[in-house]
Amino acid sequence: MLRSALVLLIGVYACCSADYSALSYTDRKCGNDSANLWLDVVVVVDNSQGMTSNGLTDIASNIGSVFAQSRIGTTNYLDPRTTRVALVTYNSDSYTNADLNQFQSTGDLFNNVFSALSTLSSTDQSYLETGLSTAEQLLKAGKTQFNRAHFKRVVIVYASAYEGEGERAPMPVADRLKGDGVKIITVAYDQRGDGALLDQLAQIASPRMNFTNNGNLLPQVKGALYEANCFCPDDWVQYRQTFGDVTSQPYGTCIQPVGLTAVWQAAKLGCANRRQNTFLVNEYTPHKHDFVLKSASVTSGFSQPWKYHIGLNWRNGNWTWDQPTGWPQPVLQQWYNWIQGYPVSSSSMSGCMNVQSGFGTGWKNIALYTESANYVCETASCDTDNYCATNV
């Protein structure tokens, strides 16, 4: 009962609490609290001769530092925001030092990682394919355990070389993993220093997740984990830098165009009832406006001429953006997109919709209870600040 109550509490009240306010008039970024990561991670470490003993020690220190503040394991916490970490070493072959369920505390992780990475193998062969294949098996075995099917999965690779062709080529395994939704972070321990290894590992890594062993490695790896932990529930679209590129930089914001029609007030309540802390979409910037239009234009139920409700509404003498009940509503500022002749001064026309204007859309104020249209909802992403109990 206590665990169920806490899951509900986190799902409802953890949202957006960390350093974000709608009054900032910026779109929410992904959460970045390492104490609240909730992931399944397999760390894959090259322990061939090319890594060197000092390199292995550096890697152990980096792994420990990355997860030092996180809740490791599943048995000691009421908070569901926990991270499982497995460890694989590889050279000419691979070895599972720990599966996803072995480490049940930060102490477990520290002790075992430093022990496992204290000795180099006797070979200079380094076949990343074998390490990735073992990681794939561990993630597959752990996917349905402990009600974690909705937890995102990550592989972190620390490599000193890029070897292998044919059956030993790492690319097919990496492509399978990424195709299954796994994020791959790579760290090049480039002993020659010519940059070739970094370029080779870029083919393995997920976008923006290919790094080298420099002074910025710790924040870079943690930042990649935050991004991996930032996603939208099923049937929601994650706001991102480029609509046509689903791998582009994401925001901590999700939108859902609704193909049914409703009057503005019903649309507002419809959004509020879809998920906790959900509201009619804001359009703080031209970029967000264009993204919403592109998303709506490919959603079933929307058709030209485009017409859909957004969160702009007249309240207390100002045009403000819709927010969940009890949250401050930011006043319209900086950029606006009224079509010619609008807004019309009328006490009854206090809602707003986008209507087609040429090839794009613009804002038009409307009555709350008379004009029906499609609408677009917005909510926070699932991330370190916002636990989602399921992916729906």
On average, the pLDDT of the chain sits at: 93
Of 375, 227, 208, nearest to 296 (Cα)? Answer: 375
pLDDT of residue 391: 62
Query: Which ranges constitute the DSSP H helices of 298-380?
Result: none
pLDDT of residue 281: 99
Q: How many CB atoms lie within 10 A of CB 238?
A: 19
- Are 137 and 23 spatial neighbours (Cβ–Cβ below 8 Å)? no
Q: How many CB atoms lie within 10 A of CB 122?
A: 9
Domain that residue 321 falls in: 237-380
Ramachandran region of residue 315, left (φ > 0), alpha (ψ -120 to 50) or beta?
beta
pLDDT of residue 18: 59
This model's pTM is above 0.95: no
Of 325, 319, 322, 359, nearest to 342 (Cα)? Answer: 319
pLDDT of residue 20: 82
- Are 32 and 20 spatial neighbours (Cβ–Cβ below 8 Å)? no
Pick the residue with more confidence: 99 or 21? 99
As for how many domains the chain has, the answer is 2
pLDDT of residue 29: 97
Does residue 314 surpass a pLDDT of 70? yes
Does residue 9 surpass a pLDDT of 60? no
d(CA 157, CA 167): 19
- Are 262 and 375 spatial neighbours (Cβ–Cβ below 8 Å)? yes
Q: Which of 203, 228, 253 is the last residue of a domain?
A: 228
190: CATH = 3.40.50.410
Pick the residue with more confidence: 355 or 145? 355
Are both 156 and 246 inside the same structural domain?
no
Are both 131 and 61 inside the same structural domain?
yes
What is the number of alpha carbons within 13 Å of residue 335 lying toward its C-beta?
12
pLDDT tens digits for 195-221?
Answer: 899 999 999 999 999 999 987 999 999
Residue 273 token pair = 């009832």
- The three-class DSSP label of residue 183 is strand
- Are 127 and 92 spatial neighbours (Cβ–Cβ below 8 Å)? yes
Q: Which of 199, 228, 257 is the last residue of a domain?
A: 228
**Within a domain: 46:** yes
- Are 11 and 387 spatial neighbours (Cβ–Cβ below 8 Å)? yes
Q: How confident is the model at residue 144 (pLDDT cuts 50, 70, 90)?
A: confident
Pick the residue with more confidence: 2 or 99? 99
pLDDT of residue 11: 45
Are both 52 and 198 inside the same structural domain?
yes
pLDDT tens digits for 66-98?
Answer: 999 999 999 989 999 999 999 999 999 999 999
pLDDT tens digits for 268-289?
Answer: 999 999 999 999 999 999 999 9
Give DSSP secondary structure letters for 84-98. EEEEEEESSSEEEEE
The neighbouring-strand residues paired with 210 are 186
Q: How confident is the model at residue 12 (pLDDT cuts 50, 70, 90)?
A: very low
Q: Which of 200, 228, 256 is the last residue of a domain?
A: 228
Backbone angles phi, psi at 105, to 5 degrees: -165, 165
Q: How confident is the model at residue 176 (pLDDT cuts 50, 70, 90)?
A: very high
**Within a domain: 13:** no
pLDDT of residue 6: 39
pLDDT tens digits for 92-129?
Answer: 999 999 999 999 999 999 999 999 999 999 999 999 99
